[in-house]
Amino acid sequence: MLPELGQFALILALLLSGLQAFFGIFGPMFARDRWVAAVTPAVAGQFVMLATSVACLIYSFISNDFSVLYIAENSNSALPLFYRVTAMWGAHEGSLLLWIFILSCWTVAVSIGVSRMPVRFGARVLGVLGVVSFGFLLFTLATSNPFTRLDPPAPDGRDLNPVLQDPALAIHPPILYTGYVGFAVAFAFACAAMLEGRLDQQWARWTRPWTTAAWAFLSCGIALGSWWAYYELGWGGYWFWDPVENASFMPWLVGTALIHSLAVTDKRGLFKSWTLLLAVLAFSLSLLGTFLVRSGVLVSVHSFAADPRRGIFILAFLVIMIGGALTLYAWRAPKLKSQAGFDLSARESFLLFNNILLVIAAATVFAGTMAPLISDSLGLGTLSVGAPYFNPTFMLSMLPLTALVALGVHANWKRGRLSEKQRMLLLTLIASVVLACITVFAIYSHGKILTPVAATLGIWIILTSLVDPIDRIRRNMSLSRSVLGMTVAHIGLGLFVLSLTTVESFTLEHDVSLAKGASTAVGAYEFRFDGVKSIEGPNYQGVGGTVTVTRHGEPLTTLYPEKRQYYVQHTTTTEAAIEMHYGSNVLVALGEDLGAGKWSVRIQVRPLVNFVWLAAFIMAMGGVVALTDRRYRVATTAGAEDTAVTGVTGEHAR
Amino acid sequence: MTPRQRRMSLVFGILAGVGIAGALALSAFRSNVTFFFDPTAVAEGHVKTGEHFRLGGMVTQGSVKRTPGSLEVHFMVTDFKHDVPVAYSGVLPDLFREGTGVVAHGHMDGNGTFVADEVLAKHDEKYMPPEVAKSLKRRHGEAREDALSAAPGSGGAAQSAPNAGSEGAGGQSPPSTTSTAVPPGTPAVGPTASAPTQVANAGVH
């Protein structure tokens, strides 16, 4: 019964989302206040229905109801309880339901948030969110229903893919989706502003916290995914430029541009149409990401089973949403003029270049991701685009960006006045060069040409970001949450650049063949292979190796890499053994029995790689700190003052 | 400068930046994109010696040879019309097995051997990397592929770990139909066990 209840709730949610979309968009358009008043109840009702639906599916997973096709395919009675719950989003159908449920959570949050905004504007925002929800619900019910029954029921399930049986991956999709879907809110605000034909600084102030929250979630989600790939896929890579990784990375890049552009629109009333375009673009890329992942059009380690019907549906949905938004943009954006000017050295310029570079970076990633698809469909041959393309092109736009961050945070609005800070900037730059050279040449005594340059830039961002807050604290001045959040996020970026540079320049990796008792040296470390033995787990068996590690002759640790054989799917997985010592991750992965008593073993020493993920997390925390700023909570009154102070009025294009 | 001039110079600056970035990206693209070829394309001489490309096909049954105790491994990649010998030194991926699809990155040496620097065994649920499936289909048509699917598997020799024995190493298992759920306790090892869905789709990223 429960699966039917879940499906019924899903159908009701579809109807409610249709009502939400209709009343939300046409209510304000025809000035029908009763229609407008019906929007919030529709949002609440839809949330209840979707929560019911999700609960039904999770309960069916817990109770091992293998008469449901999706559960028979993705769970097993031997699966631990925790993974039976997380198996709900272990494949296409369930993760789509999760997507919609998260959208509904955002919508409820927005419906509470818009109570401070004009009623009709709020209704429009919710209406646009309703359209998105309607499209996805229709897609789920038409092509990927998670509640489809299996007749006769399977005696047991086919189990969750073993590589997904992992705590990090269990929480990765909800967090990533929260970020992905969160850009729908920025998109809805942008569409609502275009429907009203009016966009002022107050609008930017409403939109900013939502966008920042989505961005913070997306940052965490991407970092978690990368961390998972590093330790669970077994071979020590942490970023593959895989289409699915790119699919989440492109919205992140554009989203980063958006939060900076929103800052300009908020503070100075500038970049209005650009901000709108970025909001549309960020969500379009989220949708495109969903399309890329779900339709299985790209060769990817991540893609779910390919189904052309799904692909065509999402493509149609994509065209309607993006096409509609861009049409609206073409119609309305010319009316939204920004009038104030600014100097070339003003903060606005730096943020403009930030935006340009981030969008260029997103465009190069986009080109590399789509090229194989386009070439294949045009019959130009099957090609693959990998790190040799992505790394240099990405660095080309990111290195100037990091330099601009160090300067830009010290430029004032309207007029830069950077010359007043010349001495400080120069001093921090010299300090950064010295520190970078010490790291690169004293510790590692080698490096590529760009290594000291990138390391310098990373350290420079950290130092210059610290100058202003320390100065303020010393002078007993208050430090707003916005500034604090920005500082934290920029320090995170500096740490990210620094640790990424170190990882990319100084990673040592060797595949070796070792007999029992044999040793091999990698850098300062020596690894002795002490043989393998059989192991057994709840739903797998396999072999475990023992590797004793010494550093400069001193005993350091013993590592136990495993090779597992899962019973149900007969999948072999490599469980690498990883430990952090002296800032470096030491990784040992067991390959295969080579005969003659020898095993192939992969040994990898990655310096500072943990700090790459930590840095991403710090960036996200910066976002969280920034969105708790007072000015977003008391926005209505503070907004009026701010406008008066800067002397820039939000032009209402009417 | 008047605001208009400033705006124009800004626009030109942006266009120039985008143009330069585009040109550089294009050149990076040209020199760093690798093409995919199947053994027939190699046999027909579409690739030059030393040129890097991706070779895709099936690992020929019984072709995996390894000097005991060495990381050096040799195997044949076939599209059932032509074979290409491959040499690789390193750890093979978990999903590498005789009779299944494989994609290797590397180049041809002077003696007609493909020297791989990377071996990938990404599969969809039909045990085939999509580009391999497509190339096989092109070379042989649907009928041949179906015949392949029906071919019974023989034991795999590539994987020889004591407990991680050869499992379902044979030809393609049929496209996963939904009712093939395996009861618990099905032995995971042994050459006869079939693997209904070894899906390499590693997540929801």
Domain regions of chain B by residue span:
36-150
Q: Give dist(CA A519, CA A521) in Å, integer.
A: 7
**C-beta of residue B103 within 8 angstroms of C-beta of residue B132:** yes
Residue B1, pLDDT score? 55
Is A595 close to B69, i.e. CB distance below 8 A? yes
A553 Cβ under 8 Å from any chain B Cβ:
no
**C-beta of residue B54 within 8 angstroms of C-beta of residue B35:** yes
Residue A487, pLDDT score? 95
Share of chain A above pLDDT 70, in %: 93
| pLDDT bucket at B189, cuts 50 / 70 / 90 | very low
Nearest to A186 by CA among A288, A264, A256: A256
Which range, of A43-47, A252-256, B69-73, B189-193, averages the lowest pLDDT?
B189-193
**C-beta of residue A619 within 8 angstroms of C-beta of residue B90:** no
For the stretch A243-292, pLDDT in tens is 888 999 999 999 999 999 999 999 988 889 899 999 999 999 998 887 67
For residue B175, is pLDDT > 70? no
**Cα four-point dihedral sign A157, A159, A160, A165:** positive
Counting one residue from A and one from B, how many pairs have CB atoms under 8 Å apart? 238
Q: Which residue has the higher pLDDT, A618 or A538?
A: A618
**Cα four-point dihedral sign A402, A407, A413, A414:** negative
Is A600 close to B90, i.e. CB distance below 8 A? yes
Is A95 close to B91, i.e. CB distance below 8 A? no
* A232 secondary structure, DSSP code: H
Residue A549, C-beta contacts closer than 8 angstroms, at least 6 positions apart: A525, A526, A527, A528, A555, A556, A557, A558, A559, A586, A588
Residue B142, pLDDT score? 43
Provide the mean pLDDT of chain A: 87
For residue B138, is pLDDT > 70? no
Q: Residue window 210-239, chain A: list those with CB within 8 Å of chain B.
A: 225, 228-229, 233-235
* Mean pLDDT within A412-429: 86
Residue A643, pLDDT score? 39
Is A172 close to B204, i.e. CB distance below 8 A? yes
Is B124 close to A306, i.e. CB distance below 8 A? yes
For the stretch A521-553, pLDDT in tens is 998 899 999 989 999 888 888 999 999 999 998
| pLDDT bucket at A379, cuts 50 / 70 / 90 | confident
Query: What is the amino acid identity at position A191?
Result: C
Considering CB atoms only, which of A156, A364, A596 is closest to B184?
Answer: A156
Q: Residue window 109-138, chain B: list those with CB within 8 Å of chain A.
A: 122, 124-125, 129-131, 134-135
Q: At what angle do helices A387-408 and B3-32 cross, to 10 degrees?
A: 150
**C-beta of residue A298 within 8 angstroms of C-beta of residue A372:** yes
Q: What does the block give as tokens for A610?
A: 């943990």
Residue A466, pLDDT score? 93
| pLDDT bucket at A149, cuts 50 / 70 / 90 | very high
Is B91 close to A235, i.e. CB distance below 8 A? yes
Share of chain A above pLDDT 90, in %: 54
For the stretch A467-502, pLDDT in tens is 989 988 899 888 889 999 999 999 999 999 999 999
* Mean pLDDT within A438-449: 76
CA distance A388 to chain B (A): 6
Which range, of A138-147, A371-380, B162-171, averages the lowest pLDDT?
B162-171
Q: Please calculate the CA angle A161-A166-A170 and round it to the nearest 5 degrees.
A: 90
Q: Please calculate the CA angle B147-B152-B156 and round it to the nearest 5 degrees.
A: 125
CA distance A250 to chain B (A): 13
**Cα four-point dihedral sign A257, A258, A259, A260:** positive
What residue of B is the nearest CA neighbor of A247?
B205
Q: What does the block give as tokens for A472?
A: 């303020």
Q: How many CA atoms lie within 13 A of B107 on its CB side?
A: 7
For residue A617, is pLDDT > 70? yes
For residue B114, is pLDDT > 90? yes
What are φ and ψ of residue A588, in 5° steps?
A: -125, 125
Residue A397, pLDDT score? 86
Residue B200, pLDDT score? 31
Is A364 close to B21, i.e. CB distance below 8 A? yes
CB-CB neighbors (< 8 A) of A66 in chain B: 181
For the stretch B41-70, pLDDT in tens is 888 888 888 888 888 888 898 899 988 888
Q: Give dist(CA A288, CA A314) in Å, integer.
A: 9
Q: Which domains does chain A have, with CATH numbers?
A: 2-332+348-398 (no CATH), 508-609 (2.60.98)
* Cβ neighbourhood burial of A151 (10 Å; 0-12, 13-18, 19+): exposed
Residue A159, pLDDT score? 83
Residue B92, pLDDT score? 86
For residue B125, is pLDDT > 60? no
Q: Distance of CA B105 to CAs A163, B35, B88, B112, B121, Å? A: 24, 10, 10, 15, 11
Considering CB atoms only, which of A158, A169, A383 is closest to B203?
Answer: A169
State which of A489-493, B49-53, B136-140, B157-161 shows the largest mean pLDDT: A489-493
Residue A91, pLDDT score? 82
| pLDDT bucket at A8, cuts 50 / 70 / 90 | very high
CB-CB neighbors (< 8 A) of B193 in chain A: 570
CB-CB neighbors (< 8 A) of A352 in chain B: 10
* Mean pLDDT within A124-132: 96
Q: Which residue has the higher pLDDT, A240 or A108?
A: A108
* Mean pLDDT within A210-236: 90
* Mean pLDDT within A51-71: 95
Q: Please calculate the CA angle A614-A280-A270 and round it to the nearest 5 degrees.
A: 85
CB-CB neighbors (< 8 A) of B102 in chain A: none
Residue A317, pLDDT score? 87
Residue B134, pLDDT score? 66
For the stretch A626-643, pLDDT in tens is 999 888 876 444 444 343
Residue B155, pLDDT score? 31
Is A72 close to B199, i.e. CB distance below 8 A? no
ipTM of the prediction: 0.70
| pLDDT bucket at A393, cuts 50 / 70 / 90 | confident
Is A597 close to B69, i.e. CB distance below 8 A? yes
Residue A415, pLDDT score? 82
B49 Cβ under 8 Å from any chain A Cβ:
no
Residue A634, pLDDT score? 60
Share of chain B above pLDDT 90, in %: 9
| pLDDT bucket at A129, cuts 50 / 70 / 90 | very high
Q: Give dist(CA A387, CA A264) in Å, integer.
A: 34
Residue A556, C-beta contacts closer than 8 angstroms, at least 6 positions apart: A525, A549, A550, A581, A586
CB-CB neighbors (< 8 A) of B10 in chain A: 352
* Mean pLDDT within A312-326: 87
Residue B137, pLDDT score? 65
Q: Which residue has the higher pLDDT, A594 or A653?
A: A594
How do beta strands B53-59 and B33-37 pair?
parallel
Q: Give dist(CA A473, CA A487) in Å, integer.
A: 13
Q: Which residue has the higher pLDDT, A133 or A296?
A: A133
Q: Is B36-150 assigned to CATH 3.20.20.70? A: no
Is A381 close to B35, i.e. CB distance below 8 A? yes
Residue B127, pLDDT score? 46
Q: Give dist(CA A515, CA A640) in Å, integer.
A: 75
